[in-house]
């Protein structure tokens, strides 16, 4: 019998959710006869004993923030246990392989990499060479179909330690997390998924997802987030799942993510999902500029954004938009117009203010690297992105001010309506205009949401 704890799976950040990025690999390893330990640094301190026992430490890096924190964690792991083999795995790992190797990684795995992680554990146990476990560049990531086990969540902290649902009345409920699909059909140019998955997606078997939801409900979850990059990539799969979950757990609510174009084209599915317990949907609106949307290859237009909000409103579903308002192709007038539209349409109550601060990230492997209009200024290894400057220096200055304002306000628990008003004042000042109020100010009432702001 293998010794427990010889493999340590570490998560640093997953948007406030219980970390799927270590729960699923743990299940693969358990099925193969290993007994991994887990550590979620978002809610647990670094456990020196768990680190010291580990022969292999695998750090999950499914997103930008997780990678930044993961690099700092790797340094602490190497200090505490210099003999441990270090692995980075997840979406962002192969994009930044040279940086991770320089940080001491013996293995870099991405995409559908859980079986590769099992093979790595076997090789490490046997003292075999590890050269093949370094995936340098997104094209080297694994994208084959896997035989999925039910994620192993027993060793993770309970749901109450993670982000909670806040309903429209302000009541909070414990929230779980699962994924019904992996990868994405679409090739949005600013998204890291196309660089790794290249337009492929994989459905997780329905019985696996149902078992995962069931075990989280048993642990106290009253709400579940479907964290798929796009829940409606496989609309029939999504609706069938939602029907069965609602049949088994009629009071369970859920949220999901879907592209604007899917909300518009699949309005019938949106209405049915709302009737089955969906309370909000996250959608990558990104911009109200058709030029920016075309540059990002979003697959929707400005007019589609209005239609998506209307589809969700008619279904009784809140649309929570994500934005990338600071790009090289959007100027100060675009930013002011975005604020004005969100205010007059009453959408600000559905927006996390942090979204007003987001600046375009261009990671290695990004499909944007081929854009002749994007003037790159070298790779910022600390920021994990290619550097670029806006043609109008006021925009870069404004972004820094907005980011500082919303971060400070969020840490103080400031009302989102007040934060949005502060952002508007900053934007008007940058344009040399006096602050004005629209005739129809939005309500400070907030739509259903999670306690952790959506952020990458």
CATH code of the region 159-450:
3.80.30.20
Which residue reads 């990025």 in tokens?
21
Tokens of 104: 């001491």
* Contact call for residues 34 and 92 (beta carbons, < 8 A): no
CA distance 275 to 181: 21
What is each CA distance from 309 to 73, 285, 317, 320, 334, in whole angstroms?
40, 10, 9, 9, 20
Tell me the per-residue pLDDT of 217-238, one tens digit each, with 9 for 90 and over: 999 999 999 999 999 999 999 9
What pLDDT was estimated at residue 441?
45
Strands 223-226 and 201-203: unpaired
CA distance 453 to 15: 8
CA distance 372 to 391: 15
Tokens of 336: 């002011």
Which residue reads 């040399």 in tokens?
432
Strands 172-178 and 56-60: unpaired
Global model pTM greater than 0.85: yes
What pLDDT was estimated at residue 362?
96
CA distance 331 to 232: 32
Tell me the per-residue pLDDT of 297-330, one tens digit each, with 9 for 90 and over: 999 999 999 999 999 999 999 999 999 999 999 9
Taken in order 437, 438, 440, 443, is the CA torsion positive or negative? negative
What pLDDT was estimated at residue 139?
72
E strand or H helix at 309: helix 302-315
Closest CA relative to residue 327, chosen from 283, 364, 371: 371
What pLDDT was estimated at residue 454?
64
What are the residues whose beta carbons fall under 8 Å from the beta carbon of 391, sequence distance 6 or more? Answer: 328
**Cα Rg, the chain, nearest whole Å:** 22
Tokens of 155: 């060793």
Q: For the chain, where do the domains classified as CATH 3.40.50.280 start and end?
A: 7-140
CA distance 107 to 97: 9
What pLDDT was estimated at residue 439?
43
What are the residues whose beta carbons fall under 8 Å from the beta carbon of 96, sequence distance 6 or more? Answer: 67, 363, 364, 384
Task: Mark the ranges of the chain whose per-residue pLDDT is less than 70.
Answer: 1, 5, 435-445, 454-456
CATH superfamily entry for domain 7-140 = Cobalamin-binding domain (3.40.50.280)
CA distance 297 to 294: 5
Residue 359 is classified by DSSP as: B
* Contact call for residues 227 and 163 (beta carbons, < 8 A): no
How many residues make up the chain in this entry? 456
Q: For the chain, where do the domains classified as CATH 3.80.30.20 start and end?
A: 159-450
Tokens of 282: 């996250």
What pLDDT was estimated at residue 399?
98
What pLDDT was estimated at residue 244?
98
């Amino acid at each position: 019998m293998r010794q427990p704890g010889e493999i340590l799976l570490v998560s640093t950040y997953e948007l406030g959710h219980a970390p799927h990025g270590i729960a699923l690999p743990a299940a693969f390893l358990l099925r193969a006869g290993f007994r991994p330990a887990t550590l979620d640094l978002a809610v647990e301190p670094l456990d020196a004993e768990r680190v010291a026992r580990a022969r292999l430490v695998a750090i999950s890096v499914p997103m930008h923030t997780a990678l930044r924190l993961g690099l700092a964690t790797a340094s602490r792991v190497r200090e505490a246990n210099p003999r441990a083999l270090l692995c980075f795995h997840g979406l962002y790992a192969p994009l930044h392989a040279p940086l991770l190797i320089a940080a001491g990684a013996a293995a870099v795995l991405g995409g559908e990499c859980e079986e590769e992680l099992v093979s790595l554990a076997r090789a490490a146990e046997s003292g075999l060479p590890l050269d093949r476990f370094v995936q340098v560049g997104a094209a080297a990531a694994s994208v084959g179909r896997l035989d999925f086990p039910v994620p192993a969540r027993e060793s993770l902290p309970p749901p109450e330690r993670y982000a909670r649902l806040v309903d429209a009345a302000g009541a909070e409920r414990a929230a779980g997390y699962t994924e019904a699909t992996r990868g994405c059909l679409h090739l949005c140019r600013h998204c890291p998924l196309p660089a790794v998955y290249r337009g492929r997606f994989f459905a997780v078997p329905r019985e696996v997802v149902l078992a995962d939801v069931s075990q989280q409900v048993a642990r106290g979850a009253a709400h579940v987030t479907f964290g798929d990059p796009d829940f409606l990539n496989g609309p029939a799969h999504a609706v069938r799942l939602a029907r069965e979950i609602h049949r088994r757990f009629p009071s369970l609510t859920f949220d999901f993510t879907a592209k604007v174009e899917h909300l518009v084209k699949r309005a019938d599915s949106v209405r049915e999902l709302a009737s089955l317990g969906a309370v909000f949907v996250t959608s990558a609106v990104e911009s109200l500029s058709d030029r920016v949307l075309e540059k990002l290859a979003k697959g929707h237009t400005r007019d589609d954004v209005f239609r998506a909000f209307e589809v969700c409103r008619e279904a009784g579903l809140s649309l929570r938009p994500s934005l990338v308002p600071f790009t090289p192709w959007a100027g100060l007038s675009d930013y002011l117009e975005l604020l004005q539209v969100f205010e007059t349409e009453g959408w600000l109550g559905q927006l996390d203010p942090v979204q007003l601060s987001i600046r375009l990230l261009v990671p290695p492997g990004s499909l944007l690297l081929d854009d002749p209009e994007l003037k790159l200024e070298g790779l910022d290894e600390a920021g994990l992105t290619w550097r670029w400057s806006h043609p109008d220096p006021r925009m870069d200055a404004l972004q820094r001010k907005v980011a500082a304002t919303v971060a400070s306000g969020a840490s103080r628990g400031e009302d989102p309506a007040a934060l949005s008003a502060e952002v508007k004042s900053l934007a008007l000042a940058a344009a040399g205009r006096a602050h004005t109020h629209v005739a129809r100010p939005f309500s400070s009432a907030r739509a259903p949401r999670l306690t952790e702001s959506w952020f990458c």
